[in-house]
Chain A
């Protein structure tokens, strides 16, 4: 059972560089989302998707892009990395809309440092 797989686990970027965090789930979940976690801030929603071809902004979308070309994959792109994007990023998925009460499954996190 792979569940939700995120790569890379750790990444150091220079300011202005771009990169993509990969996320894949093998549970045929419709709903996928990206959160960032900063000390004392809990998890903040960046972007989410209710199905292939559909994405929407969350609480803190600026500086990030997403796409959902397949049900399985939901990559997060940092367009021009800034030190404020130093954080731990979590990808999550669930069978349907989170609001239906379905359990959310999380990846193990990606630690990103922007210098």
Chain B
């Protein structure tokens, strides 16, 4: 399988804390994207980082990419209970592959 791996599989934090999720992949990529999935719903795009970028910000989200290590991280700052969801990295080779996801629980 060419699927990526997210780490950790599950993360539980208190509201206001930061949450960091990591993604590793196995192939060369053009870009890497992060998606969010609320329970029982489809995935929603959060942020994209291209292979020639090292860091990108969007609101409370910060994404880094290290192509030499084939890894990316997603940081959510000042987390809220509404951030509770599963987060997936997705990367392309000739098609789009997804990691297994990190289940984030933010306790109020």
Contact = CB atoms under 8 A, between A and B. Distances in A.
A41 B100 contact: yes
Interface string A97-115: 0111101111111000000
Interface stretch (B14-22, B37-45, B75-83): B37-45
A100 B41 CA distance: 25
A104 B95 contact: no
Interface in B63-108: 88, 90, 92-101
Interface residues of B, number: 30
B90 to A, nearest CB: 7
Contact of B42 (A45, A98, A100, A107): A107
Nearest to B32: A101
B57 interface: no
Contacts of B35: 104
A68 to B, nearest CB: 15
Contact of B92 (A4, A99, A105): A99
Contact of B41 (A43, A99, A109): A109
A42 B95 contact: no
B58 interface: no
A104 B97 CA distance: 12
B43 A98 contact: no
Contacts of B97: 45, 59
Given A35-B98, A59-B97, A101 B50 contact: yes
Interface in A65-111: 90, 92, 98-101, 103-109
Nearest to B99: A42
B33 interface: yes
Contacts of A107: 42
Contact of B100 (A42, A59, A109): A42
B96 A98 contact: yes
Interface of A: 4, 33, 35, 40-45, 48, 56, 58-59, 90, 92, 98-101, 103-109
The 4 closest A-B pairs by CB, nearest first: A106-B42, A98-B96, A99-B92, A42-B100
